[in-house]
Structure 1
């Protein structure tokens, strides 16, 4: 009963937060300089004043800001995210076409950085002054300091030019041969460089966090007690210390999920990956307000959902939180 009450409270808070984000995004975008109709006119090579007036009326841009916000919220409540100015398609359809590619990229990058980064951090904590620990620290610092787009360009030069192993553009080959398995392998082949680029910076953060957390836990009283009972060092290290050291890692995993979406914009642009990040980049350049708002809404929902799942995982990993 207490867990159900906790989940309902978190759900209510999440809904209020998402609504606030929707209103804030709408206001910020409409306060930003620029005119969607003028952007369309530039893309078309010119437009008559009469057509400009008709488009502003059709898009509701000739109404007051509060009226536009009310109309947007009423349509949003009915499940309508609007119609794209540039692509001339429903925003919902545009987003649904791009979501699978972005989720594949983001989840793959998150799993890679979480598993490999935590493993490296745990290994570094066993001998904090050893050569392996120092090497992992250097790698982590370089990975954390390198910008995402720079890492992507270096990987393209290294694995597509010097050693032509992986493709550098798109999600799949133009010509498909074979069945489902061949298609899956082709997508995985195209996924390697984008996922590696996006995952390297977060791998460095997970590595440093895991190392620091393990060193902190290994100095705790309960670890000394476990050792005094005669338990093996492997049991103490992996069964007692590691579980408690995972709590901060669980926290930053939820926080980094939103950052991965932001980083996906750069990665998808560098590798021409057909996901939400590239759609957001194209929509910003073309001042496609409904599409931008739809992408921001979905991103906010993903971040809020990741934070709620983080809270649940925290309660599972640490039973003391339930009390």
Structure 2
């Protein structure tokens, strides 16, 4: 494996070098970097031209300019990066740090959300092939995949921001609106859960009644502007999550694992009150530390309860602990919503990555960052979910028809064991490739999405540099995205060995 990694790195370095040379040559020949100044009528035009020539090194041969950039980029290996300056004389590394930070905030959430949702939906559609649910998901997947990004972004801005901001000023849901929403969600839930006609009717009726009652009750008590979760709802959701993940992975009959996850929820309920004073005015470092501590506590509980299922018990308890930590933070975010609306009456923004000069506390400032992320994240997630769901479906269908899956069923293994432990693991191999390519591509910046929502990310850095025929920002963009593509593909290759032991040979 070490020899394979070193060989791949050597070949990738050569590709990176040739690609950088090609990118540099194409960029400097894409236009005239002095065109705007040549057309200027300013009295100091000649001085401005000379200054730009000096900043960009336009008086040097192209190969010398490339050599200067290459030597500065090579310094990154020893921690002495020098990627030059843009045409205005601004340090490109500073621009790159700002752009990469904005893009990573955007694409990390959307990528993980798309992976989780897409894989789950793909598995469900594979298990229920040619059902109404399968046809509906297939239609929506192709619809989302073929949506013009700019058009979908404009629709999200109209309905997800402008009209929502109008509604939240005086949030009211009528009986008719609640009934329509309940019917739609009831139809979706009965399609997802499936079963015979009696079970479908029961699912639809329960879902519809619950949604209608909840919407009308929330409207009556003014919950939309003054929401709260509380320990009760956090416990209910956490217990449901613990039981569900145990049933899915280990089986509800594995009592040790079930007791381990439920014990984790009980400990989390105690911690909910213990850490309350710390969460009044925390910081990100503290929250990360508390989250890691929750995972450690879950691992310890899983080890104590685990017995012969120690590995599974530790993993599921850690996941449950992480989920409850997230629910605890969500409770604080929900509680801070009312104060956030007082500071920002129109909460969902359509431009920029944060509100300038926002003066709220930690939770309100975090809500501001979250609402700025909401629309572009939804857009990127919807587009990526279509890809992941289709690939997962086809991969699962192919795996389910393999001889070893039929053998597992003939041995009397439960359907959960067959799906989770035998089929899904092997179906992950092609999905791993898609995840690697998709994440590397998203790091390059969603150029259109960032332009529509006014994000100053990697896509904007590339577009601006190319528009102004400025090679320094473009080459910085290329360096980061190319390295990301190489690293992610290498990680994907190494992951194959863990998913399929035969590849290790």
TM-score of the two chains, using structure 1 as the length reference: 0.91
Structure 2, unpaired ranges of 5+:
76-80, 166-346
Matched, 1:65 2:62: yes
SS at match of 2:34: helix
Q: Distance in 2 between matches of 1:77 and 1:16?
A: 13
The alpha-carbon distance between structure 1 residues 214 and 31, as it changes in their structure 2 partners (threshold 3 A), is same
Q: Distance in 2 between matches of 1:84 and 1:57?
A: 11
Matched, 1:208 2:390: yes
Q: Distance in 2 between matches of 1:108 and 1:42?
A: 44
The equivalent residue for 2:12 is: 14
The equivalent residue for 1:174 is: 356
Instruction: Count residues in correspondence.
Output: 319
Structural mapping, 1:105-144, within 5 Å? 105-144=106-145
Q: Distance in 1 between matches of 2:128 and 2:421?
A: 18
The equivalent residue for 2:450 is: 268
SS at match of 1:36: coil
Moved more, 52-61 or 93-102: 52-61
The equivalent residue for 1:305 is: 487
Q: Distance in 2 between matches of 1:50 and 1:161?
A: 46
Q: Distance in 2 between matches of 1:163 and 1:270?
A: 19
SS at match of 1:163: helix
The alpha-carbon distance between structure 1 residues 45 and 122, as it changes in their structure 2 partners (threshold 3 A), is farther
Q: Distance in 2 between matches of 1:54 and 1:176?
A: 37
Q: Distance in 1 between matches of 2:66 and 2:391?
A: 42
Q: Whose radius of gyration is greater, 1 or 2?
A: 2
Matched, 1:76 2:258: no
Q: Is the 8 A contact 2:126 2:394 kept in 1?
A: yes
The alpha-carbon distance between structure 1 residues 273 and 48, as it changes in their structure 2 partners (threshold 3 A), is closer
Pairwise CA distance, 1:140: 0.3
Q: Is the 8 A contact 1:198 1:263 kept in 2?
A: no
The alpha-carbon distance between structure 1 residues 258 and 228, as it changes in their structure 2 partners (threshold 3 A), is same
Q: Distance in 2 between matches of 1:176 and 1:275?
A: 21
The alpha-carbon distance between structure 1 residues 322 and 44, as it changes in their structure 2 partners (threshold 3 A), is farther
Pairwise CA distance, 1:43: 7.1
Pairwise CA distance, 1:263: 5.6
The equivalent residue for 2:90 is: 89
CA displacement, residues 192-242 of structure 1 (integer Å, 9 cap, x when unaligned) = 111111121111011001111111111100000000000111211121101
Pairwise CA distance, 1:58: 5.0
CA displacement, residues 227-261 of structure 1 (integer Å, 9 cap, x when unaligned) = 00001112111211011111111011111123324
Q: Is the 8 A contact 1:81 1:290 kept in 2?
A: yes
TM-score of the two chains, using structure 2 as the length reference: 0.60
Pairwise CA distance, 1:91: 0.6
Structure 1, unpaired ranges of 5+:
none
